[in-house]
Structure 1
Amino acid sequence: MPRFVALEPAVEGWQVDPERLAAAVTPKTAAVLMMSPAMPTGSVLGKAHWDALARALERSNAWLIYDAAMERIRFDDGERVHPAHVDGLAERTITVGAASKELRMIGWRVGWVVGPAEILRDINLVGLSNVVCQVGIAQEAVAAALSAPDADDDVAHATAIWKARCDAIVDQLAGYPVIRPDGGWSLLIDTVPLGLSAFEAAERLFERGRIAATPMTGWGPSGDRYVRLVFANEPLERFGDLRARFDEAWS
């Protein structure tokens, strides 16, 4: 059975105590799944989190499965730490990457796994049974995108655009229960202070404000209280009347 560790919303963004995170690891834990920045919250883990997890995973002899699909989409100035570079985690980290987020190649469905050789043999068998064979042209396209001379600059440019969109949304919705993300391309709004469920808020935003928001029901134990706004591909100029449309939705 999975065990969840809840993030706590705060003025400065999502927070989770490193020791509370580590305390969720028990002798029965086989693996811990983490993503940073996380989706849909945009929360980011720091070195203190990885250090605490390293100690806990060593005690339990468990794996860390790290979803790195968004790791370069960061809006904060904090230290960039890959868990495989942390003492005690290199031999336990299974890194899962994808072209869908940073490279914006969502429909190509190409990803990769990096980790210790002994576990990758088993992962290859799982992939063989579930994927069989990825489309060749998609693999070539992703390889070209990853190896392009301007690949890093491209991701940095895209991240700057996403940050500008995020800042615009947060500024426009000042006073609403918006939790600022530290990365990614989505943010959450707490619907409880608005007196609505996530489904009710999403419905009202769509019907009255002409805004598409996703109820987070099914995204974890606290998902029922949040709706998500995705700014992956929304032009910045379309945010000009966002506040007015939100106000109209609650009128």
Structure 2
Amino acid sequence: MVIYGRNAVEEAVRSGRNIEKVYLLHGKFFEPEFLSLLQERGVRFQWAKRPQLDRLAGTGKHQGVVAIISPIEYATLQELVEETVNRNSFFFALNGITEPQNLGAIARSVELFGGVGLLLPQRGSAPINEVAVKASAGALLHLKVVRVDFLEEGLLAFKESGGNVYALETGGRDIRDSQLKRPLAFILGSEGKGIDAELVELADLTVTIPTVGKLPSLNVSVAAGIAAWEIFRRGA
């Protein structure tokens, strides 16, 4: 859901609604109190040009403020970790996945193959909007989705609870020959940049999906589907 206008957005923030992101008109003055409110409530915001705001709001009468209201209720990190451990299951941590379609498609694979949810960073991640929910075929409504300031903190908490962390990246061990110990988390990175070095270092093992074609890599959502199937195929 999209809302716009200074008062409407501020009221949504104060009411505690799950807000994916607030877009503010580049070059427009906003009171420091308003910006401080967004920061205090942990609401992500970014500056945008007027044509982008017009498209998001569907009108030019947005007063330079447009907010995306999340269609899901976020879970806590503790809930994600505990359910993954208790069910001896898995979740995916997404590093630099900025396209809602990819996020939604990944969520669909996680749900289809019995995973628990997704771990997302507060910044540098696709918003969970109508596009993402549609691409997930509704799977996002059935998963535990968590946002943390840094993926490292969530993955370390999972490891401290007995979880195993794997990075899905080129140059690793063939996933077919790798032991995947449950409960587990897979880190997925963007097709261009890959997984951040500190996350690869944090992982217990880096695994790769082997290919024989001329293209350098798989689409991240396709890779996620293969990895989720591989976990499912091996059983608990």
TM-score range, shorter chain: under 0.3
Q: Which has the higher strand share?
A: 2
